[in-house]
Chains A and B, each alone.
Chain A
Amino acid sequence: MGLTNSSTGIRAVDSGLEIRRQTPEDRVVALAGNPNVGKSTVFNGLTGLNQHTGNWPGKTVASAQGFCATRRHSYVMVDIPGTYSLMAHSAEEEVARNFICFGEPDAVVVVCDATCLERNLNLVLQTMEISSRVLVCVNLLDEAKRKGIQIDLGALSARLGVPVVGAVARKKQSLGHLMSELDRLIDGKIETHPLQVRYLRPIEDAIGIMEPLLRERFGERINPRWLSLRLLDAEPSLMEELKIRLGKDPLGDSEISAAVLRARDALAVQGITDANIKDKIVSCLVLTAEDLCLDTVACERNGYNTFDRRIDRILTSRWAGYPIMLLLLALVFWLTITGANIPSQLLADLLFRFQDNLTGLFLRIGAPDWLHGMLVLGAYRVLAWVVSVMLPPMAIFFPLFTLLEDSGYLPRIAYNLDKPFKKCSACGKQALTMCMGFGCNAAGIVGCRIIDSPRERLIAMITNNFVPCNGRFPMLIAMISIFFAGAAGGAFASLLSALMLTGFILLGIFATFAVSKLLSVTVLKGVPSSFTLELPPYRRPQIGRVIVRSIFDRTLFVLGRAAAVAAPAGLLLWLLANMTVGGQSLLAHCAGFLDPFARLLGLDGVILTAFLLGLPANEIVLPIIIMSYLSQGSILELESLNELYALLSANGWTWVTAVSVMLFSLMHWPCSTTLITIRRETGSLKWAAVSFLIPTLTGFLLCFLFANTARLLF
């Protein structure tokens, strides 16, 4: 649920190989590593930035850059997406490989997870084949220690031939050693002799045929041994990239292509073909890593400890798995609603009292009526609404959700829900992108990059909008507490609200499944693809950090965005409501025009207008509705949330209207940021249009059915 400036699509564009140096002397350092080894934590620790972190593989899908300096050098750190390998099977791996290979970084820091070092060494070995300026950072030493894993860093460094430092990235001071070693590496004070993986004899012979020639042609730019291997397995995407980077096709050189042919022939004699050469290469890498670990890692117990096992047995059990998911969801909502109630009221009181002061001030300085109307009744009042309705729920919801995220529970949700997704020919990781959607749909769309199959990725993008983002949450909460929970009263009120909200979310999830299924039997036909999902060890969330980060990075960011849109929208609205044509305000014209159609959906013209005006940000739909009713002549002064009910029912709202509004809020067009993100991620206007139409039509249909059934029955 990475909801920060950089992940909502505003700056999430892959900067690829474009490095922004502050000064020409800046050294460029790539941070590589397997997914979920704490790479982003190292990055944040070093640069002081706040790249979103969480305990699940695939959070960092775009490269991020940051600066840090030691006494000797200044560095540009590049956080590249986590990968298991550099053989480029997916978009992220391509980004990682291209950067390490062609981005000419001054050094590559490979961050490893001490609790499963063996698998991580595979990437280290591959990186060392490309670059000799490699520094290995063994992270999560504290967790390894708890699990009874001991790593002899000195011996590992001696075997690998590159510097190895230990770290506990959560504790910033442990990164000091990393930086001092990096300085020494850059200054050439450490000599590296990267361990060369020895492949099977026939492969080594084949390399021998090509390497001298390649050294002669490209020796200065690309490691010839690595290039020999790659020409043998001939990955198409790499061949393309080589053409671009080297300015010519290496296979276009007749001598080289002849050497490649000779090498292939020699391999074929030994029974190694195009079909199995990659296997042989990878096996050698894995076995080398295994061998390294035998000598350097002492493990008292198994990596997957009893504590994790016990928790997993409960959280993913046949009987308790789903109920616990539901319960957690409901609990989060209940805490949000209960906790937000009183602060919301207090904030509203405070802000509206201040509005009176503002009005007083305007009167005192003799400001004209229209100015007061525009600035105070227009801009300020909408702003006050947005703040008091949105701030408290978000300030509670985000930290709670971040706690779940940091603990490592989200991949378990994906694990539990994979079968239903498979039934819909989709991918279980879609559950992770939906979780991100709770924060912000645009972030959810970017997160869809963790899904490898393009077809399944598209399905996840198109359906992401069925999960209400934080911009729509407050609206849902407000509707429930005004129209439903109020009647129950007392302690039941918040419980009822939480249950209703959970019900609505489940409806959204159900819609996700239904539409996913529909898409995979129509326009996005296909069978579910293979997938692997890593279930990381549980980690104790850093509660203090979670609270601070989720307030600053998420809550205030979202609020800022809402305010930035809400204030001008309030202004525009005031103008629309006060500029008259033919005796009626523009707003009334617009609402009147939409009214007949809106009535069919159980809404009214004002509501539909508000949703349309809310395209830039869903946060402002409710404020627009309120403003419109207030400006339509009713003199009602809203000073507390309770009076909202009076205002809405005075404008003809019943519980049917409320449910219709909630349904429509759950299912209508995505906000403009999300649409732009979809357009960018898919590279096609068509899919952005589909993503606009599908939730909208679903919403129309559901609202129509609900409103008319309800009218008939009640």
Chain B
Amino acid sequence: MNTNRSLRDMAPGQTATIRALLSTGSIRRRLLDIGLVENTEVECVGRSPCGDPSAFLIRGAVIAIRSEDCSSILICS
């Protein structure tokens, strides 16, 4: 299992568990606020027509996150 997999590597339809949050600053707080803490289950539910951002199902809500931000959210699947 690749240990550096991030939210960015998820394809629509896949589910994963959050392993670590590397983001910093305001986006980190925002992500924590919406419940994206360690061990949270997320599902990638879609991608914007241009391929970015992607939408994730996080604790019952659908949230779009840009790929740059996704790459600092590590997962284990």
A349 to B63, CA, bound (A): 52
A530 to B64, CA, bound (A): 11
Determine, out of A60-68, A221-229, A418-426, A606-614, the stretch whose residues face the partner at the interface: A418-426
| Distance of B31 from chain A, by nearest CB (Å) | 7
Contacts of B23 in A (CB 8 A): 530
Number of interface residues of B (CB under 8 A): 38
Known: A85-B29, A85-B33, A87-B33. A415 touches B53 (CB 8 A): yes
Chain B 2-29: CB-based contact to A (< 8 A → 1; otherwise 0) = 0000000000000000000101011111
Known: A84-B33, A286-B35, A534-B63. 10 other contacts (CB 8 A): A116-B61, A118-B60, A286-B32, A290-B35, A303-B57, A312-B55, A316-B46, A530-B25, A532-B31, A536-B62
Among candidates A89, A283, A419, A536, residue contacting B50 with C-beta atoms closer than 8 Å:
A419
Which residues of A are in contact with B by a Cβ distance under 8 Å? 84-85, 87, 89-90, 115-119, 122, 278-279, 282-283, 286-287, 289-290, 302-304, 308-309, 312-313, 316-319, 321-322, 415-416, 418-420, 422, 428, 452, 528-537
A464 to B47, CA, bound (A): 27
Contacts of A122 in B (CB 8 A): 33, 35
Between-chain CB contacts (< 8 Å), 27 pairs? A85-B33, A90-B26, A116-B61, A118-B35, A118-B60, A119-B58, A122-B33, A279-B32, A282-B29, A287-B37, A302-B57, A304-B57, A312-B55, A312-B62, A313-B46, A316-B46, A316-B48, A316-B55, A319-B49, A415-B64, A530-B30, A532-B63, A532-B65, A532-B69, A533-B63, A535-B64, A536-B62
B37 touches A283 (CB 8 A): yes
A416 touches B48 (CB 8 A): yes
Contacts of B32 in A (CB 8 A): 278-279, 282-283, 286
B53 touches A119 (CB 8 A): no
Contacts of A416 in B (CB 8 A): 48-50
A535 touches B55 (CB 8 A): yes
A530 touches B38 (CB 8 A): no
Closest to B72 in A: A530
Contacts of B28 in A (CB 8 A): 279
Among candidates A85, A289, A321, A422, residue contacting B52 with C-beta atoms closer than 8 Å:
A422
B35 touches A304 (CB 8 A): no
A416 to B25, CA, bound (A): 26
B26 touches A89 (CB 8 A): yes
| Distance of A134 from chain B, by nearest CB (Å) | 19
Contacts of B66 in A (CB 8 A): 418, 422, 528, 530-531
Contacts of A85 in B (CB 8 A): 29, 33
